[in-house]
Amino acid sequence: MYAILDIETTGGKFNEEGITEIAIHKFDGQKVVDKFISLVNPEKEIQPFVVKLTGINSKMLRTAPKFYEVAKRIIEITEDTVIVAHNAQFDYRILRTEFRRLGYNFERKTLCTVDLSKLLLPDAESYSLGKLVRSLGIPVSDRHRANGDALATIKLFKLLLAKDSEKIIIKDTIRKETQGELSEKQLDIVRDLPNNIGVFYMHNKDGDIIHLSKTSDIKKKVNQIFTKTSDKSRKIAKETKKVTYELTGNELVAILKEHEELLKIRPKYSIIPKKRMYSHAFCKRINENGYIVIEIKPYRECEEPLALFNGVFSAKNYLYKITQEFGLCEKVNGISEARNNCSGYDAGTCKGACINKEDVEEYNNRVIAAISKNRVNGSKALVIDKGREIGEQSAILIKNGSLVGFGFYDLNYQINNIHILESIITPMNGTHDANFLIESYLRKKRVLKIMEIND
């Protein structure tokens, strides 16, 4: 659990500053579950440059509560959390200073989004909150006000969590939270999990990920692991001290995240994907009459694979499907062994390529359209689908026929501006296996849309 914090102060000499406004959002890694926002009477003058910067003046604070009046609420909302702030060293120092004046030793673990941004966004031109979120297309209102900056920090932190494919943040957080033995029982772990689609991570006492998996229902899947009686499930249940998760909003992003992270993290209780997930491919040849023939061959025997499959059966099923959908000839494609015309010609679904009656160019154009339907071979394209919450969508970026990565956005200009788009994308390895996962998914299921984009 995190406490996303932002503080505005009076300015002045080091350790003599007072708090003028505070905003704390209790964040479970997916959503805000509690918040506290308040002006604070610092009982001292505000520096003129601070008034100009924040718009907060002494008159506004005359009736605001003093720090001792809000101290209990701050302790409660930050209890058992890790404080997250942009330049956390400053905010945490100010908060500890105020509590010290009350004779109370306030201690919490902290994470700094400046440090995390430098690690996960190494190409950013600036790491100041305003410039950084602007470069990422993150909207921010009430800049230099505690709640406005805290809301921007939440969105930045969510992006950093998504980009953190090696789970540096979560592992570090768990180490900080779990010094000593955890007291949560398995039932408590399951209770706090959502019934949503995503990827979940099972951690041992050191924060290391021992198992990860995609699922359409995180709560149900983890509960199944805890209740199974197999040796593997018992070992996982015994070693698991915490379960974290990332919602993906749709199955395709979950599939790609799981594949990428299994290869990168290699948890000891997870099945690691094979080096090559596909065995067969569509191959193209021209027959004696000039018609394009789609053949199914082992991948290694195909000079220019047009589509990848994990077996002959799935390849045959898809060949039959596109033959019907695009009015192709069953005989030309080897589905029918008829001596003369195929049955599709009698039924009116084939235009006569089997008996050389259809124009070769027209037929071949339909074959190319059929093969291209679910391929990721465009120069630059986005696969758009549902996001993690209402108003958000996911975008999978494909460039030159290879996966680049994925991201989430809630404003169209974030994907229409290529610079911002590439900033919010979490990079992924554009392997043949990744292409296979995308194409095989698109052959079976629908997404909201696939759009080509220009630089």
| Length, in residues, of the chain | 455
CB atoms inside a 10 Å sphere around CB 83: 19
Q: Could you tell me how far CA 389 lies from the centroid of its own chain?
A: 12
Q: What pLDDT is attached to residue 238?
A: 85
Picking from 5-9, 313-317, 358-362, 400-404, which range would have the lowest pLDDT averaged per residue?
Answer: 400-404
Domain layout of the chain by residue ranges: 2-163, 168-265, 280-372, 380-452
pLDDT at 35: 93
The tokens for 124 are 């950013």
Q: Residue 177 — very low, low, confident or very high, per pLDDT cuts 50/70/90?
A: low
pLDDT for residue 340: 86
The reported pLDDT for the residue numbered 180 is 39
pLDDT attached to residue 167: 81
CATH code linked to domain 2-163 = 3.30.420.10
Evaluate if residue 181 carries a pLDDT over 50.
Answer: no
Q: What is the mean pLDDT of residues 28-55?
A: 90
| E strand map for 376-448 | 380-386, 393-399, 402-409, 426-427
Average pLDDT, the chain: 88
Report the CATH superfamily, name and number, of domain 168-265. Answer: GIY-YIG endonuclease (3.40.1440.10)
Half-sphere exposure of 218 toward its Cβ, with a 13 Å CA cutoff? 25
pLDDT band at 185 (very low <50, low <70, confident <90, very high): low
- pLDDT at 184 > cutoff 60: no
Average pLDDT over residues 41-50: 89
Output 357-366 pairs: Cβ under 8 A, ≥24 positions apart.
358/329, 360/289, 360/290, 360/291, 363/291, 363/292, 363/328, 363/329, 364/290, 364/291, 364/292, 366/326, 366/327, 366/328
Segment 248-254 shows an average pLDDT of: 96
* Residues whose CB is less than 8 angstroms from the CB of residue 95 and which lie 6 or more positions away in sequence, other chains included: 5, 7, 19, 74, 106
pLDDT at position 416 is: 83
* Residue located via tokens 């589905």: 335
Determine if the pTM surpasses 0.85.
no
CA neighbor of 366 nearest in space, from 355, 342, 350, 348: 350
User: Comparing C-alpha atoms, which of 73, 72, 84 is closest to residue 35?
Assistant: 73
